[in-house]
Amino acid sequence: MGNVAVPVKFMSNKTELAWCKKSSYNLKKMEVELKLKLLVLALLMVGAIADPQIRLINKGCSQYNATNLLNFYQNLNATFVDLRTQVSNQSKNFATAQEAKGADPVYALFQCRKYLSNADCAACFDVAAAQIRNCSAGANGARVIYDGCFLRYESSGFFDQTTLPGNSMICGNQRAVGATSTTFNATARQVLMDLQIATPKISGFFAATKTQVAGGGAIYAIAQCAETVTESGCLDCLTVGVTNIQSCLPNTDGRAFDAGCFMRYSEISFFPDNQTIDITPFLKQDGSSKKGAIIGGVVGGVGLVVILLALFAWLRWYQKPKRAPRGDILGATELKGPVTYRYKDLKSATKNFSDENKLGEGGFGDVYKGTLKNGKVVAVKKLILGQSGKMDEQFESEVKLISNVHHRNLVRLLGCCSKGQERILVYEYMPNSSLDKFLFGEKNGSLNWKQRYDIILGTARGLAYLHEDFHVCIIHRDIKPSNILLDDDLQPRIADFGLARLLPEDQSHLSTRFAGTLGYTAPEYAIHGQLSEKADTYSFGVVVLEIISGQKSSELRDDAEGEFLLQRAWKLYEGDMHLELVDKTLNPDDYDAEEVKKIIEIALLCTQASAAARPTMSEIAILLKSKNLLGHMRPAMPVFVESNFRSRVDISISTAGSSTTSNATVSTSVLSAR
């Protein structure tokens, strides 16, 4: 029995990179790993009796997270219980299960090799179920492949999938040598080709063979497809598998795996002899001429056949319609870097970065609308080289982090480009532009209450993912309406991660150069440079008040009071006059007064003077979804950072900011009780 491969995670040497504190999740993960080790130890102790073949061949975790973790885990646990019951109580070696309750359905599939005993099959499932839970909390897709079994779950149906990008092979390190090398190679190729042809025609899509090698020894081989695929699908999958596994020769053992099939050969027996079947009848069913052609190809022109098969497999993959990346396919479940675009293609797509195509300007560069040669519309961000290598830091941060951040409420980075001093980022294009256009611009007043609520909730979920669910804690630093884009359905997508940095695990704050927009910035960050995820919480609270009121946080109301938004919101809260803050363009019949009052109070909880008193973004998302009132939770007085307001103080701080923040450039107001 092979050793169990233990996955190892590596951390970057870059001092700015660090893990978030996620003690509860880490404890849970340690518990799962301990159970897995104990299970493996128990299996090793009875190795003379049982062999579930739990050598780990391949594993992968989705880049995407479930939206409702409680609902997701309930569904995941239910499917695993169902699979385990089918395997142990019904003696199945292939099982599927699904739970579609709530917003995060789970589809799961388990298959073990048919030569395993019922006990070994169940044991392999237990190891696989424990291993697959090592994925980050909430990963909505994952799979593990062992010598003895395969387990996979996704958020949508996949049972008919066969060959997908990510198919590969693992080769042994022993080679056939001497006079038997040529004979071994020829025999192994013939065995694998025969399995490719016969297995799709066999009920259950499984075949095991033992073939003698001239000069001594034997080749043990199996091929297996998922029982939910079609005969043609099984053949397609094994065609790719044969191409992959033949590259292992002249090594004496090899494995090929794909989304819907598995192949293995070895000179050492890995299944009982009584599990073999005679596949000859299945080779003859298509006529002797076809069999003869195959044999002739192997004996007389093996190299040509391999080349043609590789070309055939590549053409099938290339012509297959490309699906939107979901992280659920075999190869896409590993974190990958962004696509590299050619500069001349982006230059052409944006009409030479013309003003006509300019979408907006950011702290580190301009954004252009681009149309690629395939017709896909993208947003192209052309970074500006600043002093002290800011541009390089921006580029490195966005490319390394954001290319692997995938959430429905975050703008996705598609790729990048480097040419000389030029650094360019390519994002998915949002046709509805940014939220500020709907609140303060030409589309002012066009959002109804439900749309505003969805934007508030989606933004909270996106930030919660950045802070707590991605494998490192990312602080945005510059949450504001212009950095919240809207998709076709007016759902929010948080943009511009150029200001993102990573929160060190061993510090409660990080002193760094100021990067943000005063008026949305938490006082402890703007004044003292103390940065934590609670700085984003403060900014989110200000944005929520803007969404509800339609008033800019940085503008004085045009009335006798002349108050800024946060000041006005606190004053109305104290007088139990919350609804006076609501945008007058909203129809009172479209919203529930108590719900609006609750969300205003949530916003004020976010803007409290003490960062420690502010809730986390995951807590905020729960509060927003809850039908209950806040109960005992009462906001304390906020601190308002006054900036760029000529009536109060004359300063000049840009989004990119200077390297240090002087207390003389910012003033604060404590909004005292009245």
**Torsion sign, CA atoms 418, 421, 425, 431:** negative
Task: Return the residue matching tokens 């958020």.
Answer: 155
How many CA atoms are closer than 13 Å to the CA of 543, on its beta-carbon side?
31
Both tokens of residue 281?
């009848």
Give pLDDT, residue 51.
86
How many CA atoms are closer than 13 Å to the CA of 535, on its beta-carbon side?
34
On whether the CB atoms of residues 527 and 660 are closer than 8 A, the answer is no
In tens, the pLDDT along 544-556 reads 999 999 999 887 7
d(CA 345, CA 339): 13
Q: Per DSSP, which regions of 571-642 are E strands? A: 639-642
Q: Helix (H, G, I), strand (E, B), or coil: what is residue 642?
A: strand
Q: Is 382 annotated as a binding residue?
A: yes
Q: Which residues pair with 64 in a beta bridge?
A: 406
* Catalytic option among 253, 258, 478, 496: 478
Q: Who wins on pLDDT, 294 or 100?
A: 100
436 tagged catalytic = no
Q: Who wins on pLDDT, 401 or 523?
A: 523
In tens, the pLDDT along 418-434 reads 887 788 889 999 989 99
In tens, the pLDDT along 5-63 reads 333 333 333 323 233 333 344 444 455 454 555 444 444 443 334 689 999 998 888 87
- DSSP labels for 230-269? -HHHHHHHHHHHHHHHHTTTTBSEEEEE-SSEEEEEESS-
Please state, as a whole number, how many other Cβ atoms lie within 10 Å of the Cβ of residue 592: 10
pLDDT averaged over the chain?
A: 77
Task: Return the residue matching tokens 């397609």.
Answer: 236
Q: Residues with Cβ < 8 Å from 69, sequence gap 6 or more?
A: 137, 138
Average pLDDT over residues 270-279: 93
d(CA 307, CA 311): 6
Task: Return the residue matching tokens 């002797």.
Answer: 288
Q: Who wins on pLDDT, 674 or 125?
A: 125
Express as a percent the part of the chain with pLDDT over 70. 72
In tens, the pLDDT along 494-536 reads 988 654 443 333 333 333 445 567 788 888 888 888 888 999 9
Region of residue 102 (left: phi > 0; alpha: psi -120 to 50; beta: else): left
Average pLDDT over residues 332-339: 52
Give pLDDT, residue 497.
66
Q: Which residues pair with 485 in a beta bridge?
A: 434, 493
Cα 227 off chain centre by: 28
